[in-house]
Amino acid sequence: PAPASLRVIDLKLDILCYSSMDLPVAVAVSELVIPGLADQLSIMKKAIVSELLTQQPQLCPYHFVPPGLLIPLTAIYDTRYGEIEEKQSELRRNLHFRLGLPLDRPLLRTSNALTFGAMEMRDRSSSKSSSLLRDVHKEIPSSGVSGGIMSLIDGSYEYYHYLHDGIDDNGWGCAYRSLQTIMSWYRLQQYSSINVPSHREIQQVLVEIGDKDPSFIGSREWIGAIELSFVLDKLLG
């Protein structure tokens, strides 16, 4: 007989169970938790069995409550792949179709997942503790221009401005701040989990792509819309 092989892998199981408040804990564990864990383990087994001998799957369950759904759903993603990798994108697209979710916004990325307990304190741009003003256009009065057309942004953003974060960029930081404001919109809409870049990080990107010389990093040199588009393309693809 062919020699047997043993492969040990780590799998993270994470389930949500609904029950009445008066259900005894022992009953909840035996009738809800254990069967739920067994079902999730069975799903993971089917997902990895074909490639178990050649690769090391890293499956992780995430819970979501997209608009229109009354109870959470759980999706299992392979964390070896980035969220923009085609395999992951196709999986989320199929889930959107099956659940009747819109295709023009991310609802099932890991950044959309439910968080519990201490995890809710993780550092995110969307944190309510942010000192930045949000959606400042909402308080601007009408211009009164005859025949003018009002166009409003869809979603929220944070307003980055001169002298914020202790950086004296008065007179040269306009495009930097505009870029940071744009990046905050992508984060708050969950299109990206990339942190809003600092002035120095923006400069580093421009040096990395060959647009600026190394001496540009740490300088007070202003940038324009072209450089802004270069950085957005590099960070967001």
Residue 85: what pLDDT?
65
Residue 130: what pLDDT?
64
Pick the last residue of a domain from 93, 121, 149.
121
Does residue 183 share a domain with residue 117? Answer: no
- Residue-wise over 30-69: b if at least 16 C-beta within 10 A, else e? eebeeebeeebeeebeeebeeeeeeeebebbbbbbebeee
What phi and psi, each to the nearest 5 degrees, are found at residue 207?
A: -70, -40
What phi and psi, each to the nearest 5 degrees, are found at residue 74?
A: -115, 130
Q: Which of 140, 118, 125 has its CA nearest to residue 184?
A: 125
Residue 96: what pLDDT?
95
Does residue 144 share a domain with residue 100? Answer: no
- Rounded to two decimals, what is the model's pTM? 0.64
Weakly modelled stretches of the chain, pLDDT under 50 = 118-129
Write the Ramachandran bin of 70: left for phi over 0, alpha for psi from -120 to 50, otherwise beta.
alpha
Return the sign of the alpha-carbon dihedral for residues 18, 23, 28, 32.
Answer: negative
Residue 84: what pLDDT?
62
Residue 89: what pLDDT?
86
- Which CATH number goes with the domain that contains 164? 3.90.70.130
The whole domain housing 141 covers 133-236
Does residue 194 share a domain with residue 140? Answer: yes
pLDDT tens by residue, 54-78:
777 889 999 999 888 889 999 999 8
Pick the last residue of a domain from 98, 121, 144.
121
Does residue 224 share a domain with residue 137? Answer: yes
Distance CA 115, CA 133 (A): 25
Does residue 225 share a domain with residue 151? Answer: yes
Distance CA 29, CA 127 (A): 34
Does residue 29 share a domain with residue 57? Answer: yes
Quick one: tokens of 191? 């299109």
Does residue 113 share a domain with residue 57? Answer: yes
Does residue 83 share a domain with residue 29? Answer: yes
Q: Is-contact 207 220, C-beta < 8 A?
A: no
> In the chain, how many domains are there?
2
Eight-state DSSP code of residue 154: S
